Structure 1
């Protein structure tokens, strides 16, 4: 039987580790630089061994574990983080990183093409004549460009980079909110702030 550390990890496994890292940074176990570095490594990890290393020094354990301890998390299952308060977080958020990226790339095309085909169909129907199928000039070249972009993006790990970037933005936004709340709670204590006219 093959060693688990050498087995290939799935998108859902990478997402489960990213969720556990987010809990660790929220608890103050990791600083932002460590979190950013580990998050990038999580999204680019290929094996369970590479993911295990990222959690080895955290009290969450060495690998994503299903709440009942049965093994790696499956889509939609809950993961026990092993933290003092036994926090449980969703393993994958419902959609894999790759699928989400592909939907983002193809979303505009999937919305625009039915509209232009509908315009062509309505104008042909109103004219009671089958016009030249001009929507092909919209859907065809655009679709080819998106297909090339999709293949290149999947080959170069673009979905993982986008997910890591999105996670960093979310974390920065959260930090900003925390800082503004801290500033807001420090000011209204009735004392004048330095440099304000009295």
Structure 2
């Protein structure tokens, strides 16, 4: 029995139309606002005729023959841009200079050589930066990095 415009549509029919609308958005035929409007109409539709009106101005899409997704590019280790890397090293050097100056002034003021506490800050930060420079790991890398 052929479907007529007056026949009731099933949930599966509505889901197929919604999937087709998603494809039309992906291909640039519909704006997001138009998609949202039509999607609301899809789930309020009762008949094949009502569903057909929502896609009447769009070409047919065969959901079983969608274009293949492009193969993902080989993952290369992400590296920060030279400017970011240089800024990180300059920041480390400036902070290290300030910390070591504070330590030196404190040692001179006390008249004795104090424990070299800045080594902990500069060493830990420096090792992290070195790993980032050499291996491209650490902050600024991974899935949250903007390109």
TM-score strictly above 0.5: no
TM-score range, shorter chain: 0.3 to 0.5
Q: TM-score, normalised by structure 1?
A: 0.32
The structure with higher relative contact order (CA 8 Å, sep 6+) is 2
